[in-house]
Amino acid sequence: MFDRGVSVFLCSTEDNPIPTQRYMDAVIDKRVDGIIAAGKRTDRQVPAELSSLGVPVVYTIVQPEPNSVCFTVDDEGGGRMATELLIAKGRRRIAHVTGPANFRVVHERALGYKSALASAGLVEPEIGTIMDDWAERAGRDAVRLHFDGVVAPPDGFVCGNDQIARGVVDALALRGVRVPEDVSVIGYDNWHYYAEEASPPLTTVDMNLEQLGRLAGETLLQMIDGHVVEPGTRRLPCHVVERGSA
């Protein structure tokens, strides 16, 4: 936003209320014109009361305060999009392995996955959605559960992030299962380190975070200029980056 003559004061609180309060004091001292409160989880609030500061606030990927402006990701749409891609590739036994059940996005992506299957007249493998951890180990364990002693193992995996997807790909390779010839795998996040360095490189869902940040900044500038912005949460669509795993 420097090309608009705007200076940015960046603070990282890591959900800790003590440094958050210190940053809020510094924000007041610097007389900032507005705040973008960016989080990591849509089911957690910023550990500070921002509405009392008397400046415009825009929230991103966090549980916002009531009657505020928020931008977040359409994770249900992302889960649906990932599953629809594998269905379009001809996959019919599509498994879902994702992160811990205490994350809201896990359930939103699972809803998208299940709705895509239902629309295509397909059902989940009998093991059902695996909610484990955001780690490669979760992907390796999921392959073991879905392949050991199973008559008809999955021919596709929708994964909750790229780390899980990489674990799935590696575990399939150890079993001599070819990706994507035998099984298609799709990740989530488009985290370049995991997605591009995997073998084969991962097809994955990109959450369009750059666009989300741009819209949040532009909206905050409008609010600072006195424009009325309707409160509510805007869910931005994802898109798929196709590489070699699906």
pLDDT digits (tens, 9 = 90+) for 60-91: 999 988 899 999 999 999 999 999 999 999 99
The pLDDT confidence band at residue 47, using thresholds 50, 70 and 90, is: low
Total-model pTM: 0.89
Query: CA separation (Å) from 117 to 63, 82, 95, 122, 227?
Result: 29, 11, 10, 5, 43
**Residue 157 pLDDT:** 98
What is the rounded average pLDDT of the residues 161-181?
Answer: 97
Omega within 30 of 0 (cis) for the link into 180: yes
Mean pLDDT of the chain: 90
Q: DSSP string of 138-176? A: HHHHHHHHHHTT-SS--SEEEESSHHHHHHHHHHHHHTT
Q: Range with the lowest mean pLDDT among 50-59, 107-116, 174-183, 233-242?
A: 50-59
CA distances from residue 25 to 12, 20, 54, 62 in whole angstroms, order as listed:
14, 9, 13, 21
Structure confidence at residue 180 (pLDDT): 98
Name the band, by pLDDT with cuts 50, 70 and 90, for residue 2.
very low
